[in-house]
Structure 1
Amino acid sequence: MSHLMIFGAGYSGKAIARALRGKMEQVSGTTRGEGNVSTLLCQAIAPFIFDGGALSEDLRSELRGVTHLVQSIAPGAPGDPLLRLCNGDLKSLMPQLAWTAYLSTVGVYGNHDGEWVSEDTPCRPVSVRSTERVAAEEAWAEAARQADVPLAILRLSGIYGPGRNGFVNLEKGTARRLVKKDQVFNRIRVEDIGAATAFLIEAHEGGIFNITDDEPAPPQDVIAFAAGLMGVEPPEEQDFETAELSAMARSFYGENKRVSNAKLRALGFNFSYPNYRVSLRQLWDDGVWRDE
C-alpha cells in the first residue's frame, strides 16, 4: 500500500498532498498544534501533532506503514528534527520506506551577482538559515544512502500562490516596491511544487532539483503587474539602500542570482505557471487569489 507522510504539512505540504490525492492510498501529515488539525482533515490528510520534539506512539505507529516521505520542516541549530530522533536511521522508523524528499531552498547557492546557477553550482550560503539547510541536505543524503532509498532534494525559490501573493499584500496595504539595481528573484507557484513532487515520485527519481519558475525578475515589477490587474495604483518605488527593513528582509536582497530549472524540465516536467505574469493572471481571472 502506498502511504505518503508529510512532515510539516503547511502551505507547500498541503499542495503536495493535493497533487497526490488519488495517487496515494493514504496521506498523513504533521502539524505543530491542534489548531491546524481540522484543516488537514478537510484536505483528507490524517493529522498528527509533531512540534520537533518527541514522536508520539500514534505517530510512531503510523510511520511503520509509510512508503513515501516528504520532510518540509526547517532545520534548527541542533540539526534536522526527524534525523535527530532516529539517529539518522530512517528504516528504524519507516521499515517500508521506498522514496523520500527533502524540501530545501535556493538560498543554499548564496549570492552570484545575478549570474545563472544550476544544481551543479557549488553551495556557498550567506545566511545562517541557508547554512543550516546545506547541513540538513548533507545529513539527509547520508541517511537516504544508508536506508538505500532515492532522495529528491527540492530547492525551492520564493513560494507564492492562493492566499499568499501580491494581490493580498496590495489589499492589506503591505506591498512595497523596493528597488535595488539589477536585483532579481525567482519564484514558484505552490501548485507547481506539488506537481513536481508527484512527478518525481511517479518517476522514482532522486537527486537535487531546482523547483523554480523560468523567469527571474525584479520584485518591484511583480507588484506593479499585480496592481495593474487589480486596477489600482502601485505603491511608490523605494530605494533599497534607504528603506526601513528588518534584518531578515534585508538579507534576502544580499543574494542575487538567476536559478535554472533545466534539469527538471529535461526529465519531462512542465510547469503550469512558468512566470509571474501567467500565474498572477490566473489567480486574478479565476478569483482564487484570496483562497489559501
Structure 2
Amino acid sequence: MMTPMEWRWRPSSGNVTFLLLVIIISPLLANSWTNIGVQSSISYRSYRRSMQHMHLHSTGKHQFENESANNNQPNTRLLVFGLGNIGTLVAKIAATHLSSNSTPSFDRVYGTTRSGKEIENVHTVQFDSYEDIRDVISSCTHILTTIPPIEAENATNTTFIGEQPRNWSHFCDPVLNNPSLRLHEIAKPNTWIGYVSSTSVYGNHDGNWVNEDSDIKCDPTSKGALYLRAENEWIDAANSGGWKMNVFRCAGLYGDGRSALHTIRKRGVQHEKNKTSNMKIGNPTSRIHEKDAARAILSAMLISDETGGDTSCKRYNLADDNPTPRHEVMAFGHELLDDSNLLPSETPKPSSRRRPSEREKRRKTDKKRVENKRMKESLLPEGLLYPTYREGLKAVLDINKEKWR
C-alpha cells in the first residue's frame, strides 16, 4: 500500500470523463446560481411585504409562525408621540416581532408618555425629556404623532417645562411647534411622518358621503378647524424637510377599553334611553375599531418603505363600512349586554350638569357618512377585522365579559 507521499494522481478513463464534465457544466451552474440570487433579491421585497400584511391581518386573532428576519436590511425605527389608545396599539403591534418569530417591521420602537406608562418591548420616554427625545428623533425612520392640537389661548398652562409654564407666541401642534424638540432641524429627509387627525374637519354635509377630496365645511371655531390647521402645518413642514407625509382622518374610535358597551355600563340603561330619545333619528355617524385603525396606519408605514423618495402627502379616512346613527349602536350594545346578563341597574343615575362636549354637539350638527375606499384599497386590501360596529362590539364584549361578571 502506498504512503501519502508516494501517492500520485494517475489518469484513467473515468477521471478524464469527470474532468471534462466539470469543465463543461461549471459555467452553466455559476450562471444558474447567479440568476437565482438575482431573483431572490427582487422577490424578497414583495415577500416581506406580503408577510407584513399577514402579520397586520392576524392582529387580534393569531400570529403566523417561524418567519425569520433578514439581518441585512437597514435599520427601521419608529417613534410614537402620545401613547394613548391608538398610539399604544400602533406601538404594541410594531414591537410584536421583538418577542416573536414574525417578520420584523422595526428594529426598535419608542413612545412618549407623561405618566411613566410602560409597554413591553417599547422604549418609553417622558415627553418633557427633550434632550432624550431629540436623540431618538435623529435615529428614527418613522414618526407618528397622535397628540391632538391645542388652541393658542390654552397653550400657556397646558404643560410645564420644569416648574415653569410654557409661554409660546404661536401654538397649534404640541410636537411640530415645540421649540424644545426642534423637529424641523433633527428629523432627516425622507423620514416617514404620520399625523392622526379627525373626520371632524369635513363639518356638515347633510348626511352625504365624504371622501379625502371633499369640501371642508367645519365651523372655523371648532376642534375640526384646529385639526385642519395642524394638518396644513405638518404638510408645509414635510414639504420643507423632505419628509414623507401621511394624514389619517379618524372617525370615532372605539375598542376594548371604550365603547358603547362601556358607556351603557357606566351611565346606566335609563340614562342612555333618555339621551338617545332626544336625538334626531337617522343622523349617521362613522366609527372604526382601534385595531383596524392601527393596522391601517402601520400598513401606510410599510407602503412608504416601498415608494422610496415619494414625499407627496397622502390623506386617508379611517372608518368602517357602516355609518350608523348612535341610537342604533346603543340599542345593539344593550342587546349584547342583556343576552350576557351584564346590564347595569335600570335605576337612572343622577343627572350631571356638565356641559355637553363638542363631540356630542357635532353628532347633532355634522351629518356625514365617511367613505373608506382609499383606506381599504391602499392600506387594508385584505379587509377590516371589524367591518361594522356589530363585529366590533361583539369582540369588545368577549374581551371584557369575565371582568364585568
| Runs of 4+ off more than 3 Å | 86-91, 232-236, 285-291
**Given the superposition, is the C-alpha separation of residues 113 and 289 from structure 1 closer, same or farther in structure 2, using an over 3 Å criterion?**
farther
Q: Which residue of 2 aligns with 1:170?
A: 264
Q: Which residue of 2 aligns with 1:271?
A: 384
**TM-score, normalised relative to structure 1:** 0.86
Deviation at 1:253, TM superposition (A): 2.3
Output the CA distance in 2 between the equivalents of 1:106 and 1:289.
Answer: 34
Deviation at 1:252, TM superposition (A): 3.6
Output the CA distance in 2 between the equivalents of 1:44 and 1:123.
Answer: 40
1:29 aligned residue (99, 104, 111): 111
1:11 and 2:76 aligned = no
Greater relative contact order structure (CA < 8 Å, 6+ sep): 1
The more displaced of 275-284 and 207-216 is 275-284
Matches within 5 A, 1:60-79: 60-77=134-151, 78-79=171-172
The more displaced of 204-213 and 183-192 is 204-213
Output the CA distance in 1 between the equivalents of 2:402 and 2:85.
Answer: 14
Q: Which residue of 2 aligns with 1:280?
A: 393
Aligned identity (percent) is 27
Unmatched 5+ residue regions in structure 2?
A: 1-74, 98-104, 152-170, 308-312, 347-352
Does the aligned pair in 1 maintain the 2:256–2:399 contact within 8 Å? no
1:257 and 2:257 aligned = no
Output the CA distance in 1 between the equivalents of 2:303 and 2:332.
Answer: 36
Deviation at 1:286, TM superposition (A): 4.6
**TM-score, normalised relative to structure 2:** 0.63
Matches within 5 A, 1:77-96: 77=151, 78-85=171-178, 90-95=183-188
More strand by share: 1
1:223 and 2:324 aligned = no
Q: Which residue of 2 aligns with 1:184?
A: 284
Does the aligned pair in 2 maintain the 1:159–1:190 contact within 8 Å? yes
Output the CA distance in 1 between the equivalents of 2:268 and 2:126.
Answer: 32
Secondary structure of the residue aligned to 1:283 is helix
| Structure index of larger Rg | 2
Output the CA distance in 2 between the equivalents of 1:84 and 1:209.
Answer: 23
Deviation at 1:89, TM superposition (A): 7.1
Q: Which residue of 1 aligns with 2:41?
A: none
In the alignment, residue 326 of structure 2 is paired with which amino acid? P
Q: Which residue of 1 aligns with 2:233?
A: 139
Secondary structure of the residue aligned to 1:221 is helix
Q: CA RMSD in A?
A: 2.7
Does the aligned pair in 2 maintain the 1:66–1:96 contact within 8 Å? no
In the alignment, residue 227 of structure 1 is paired with which amino acid? H
Does the aligned pair in 1 maintain the 2:190–2:242 contact within 8 Å? no
Please give the per-residue CA displacement for 1:211-254, whole angstroms capped at 9, x wherever unaligned: 01110001011111111111167999xxxxxx996152224421
In the alignment, residue 29 of structure 1 is paired with which amino acid? G
In the alignment, residue 271 of structure 1 is paired with which amino acid? L
Does the aligned pair in 1 maintain the 2:238–2:244 contact within 8 Å? yes
Deviation at 1:167, TM superposition (A): 1.7
The more displaced of 271-280 and 164-173 is 164-173
Matches within 5 A, 1:108-257: 108-126=201-219, 127-174=221-268, 176-177=272-273, 178=276, 179-204=279-304, 206-231=313-338, 246-248=356-358, 249-257=360-368
Output the CA distance in 2 between the equivalents of 1:88 and 1:143.
Answer: 14
Output the CA distance in 1 between the equivalents of 2:180 and 2:315.
Answer: 23
Secondary structure of the residue aligned to 1:198 is helix
The more displaced of 23-32 and 93-102 is 93-102
Does the aligned pair in 1 maintain the 2:184–2:237 contact within 8 Å? no
1:107 and 2:200 aligned = yes
Secondary structure of the residue aligned to 1:124 is coil
**Given the superposition, is the C-alpha separation of residues 277 and 70 from structure 1 closer, same or farther in structure 2, using an over 3 Å criterion?**
same
The more displaced of 179-188 and 67-76 is 179-188
Unmatched 5+ residue regions in structure 1?
A: 237-242
**Given the superposition, is the C-alpha separation of residues 277 and 271 from structure 1 closer, same or farther in structure 2, using an over 3 Å criterion?**
same
Secondary structure of the residue aligned to 1:70 is strand
Does the aligned pair in 2 maintain the 1:68–1:97 contact within 8 Å? no
Output the CA distance in 1 between the equivalents of 2:174 and 2:190.
Answer: 18
Output the CA distance in 1 between the equivalents of 2:401 and 2:175.
Answer: 34
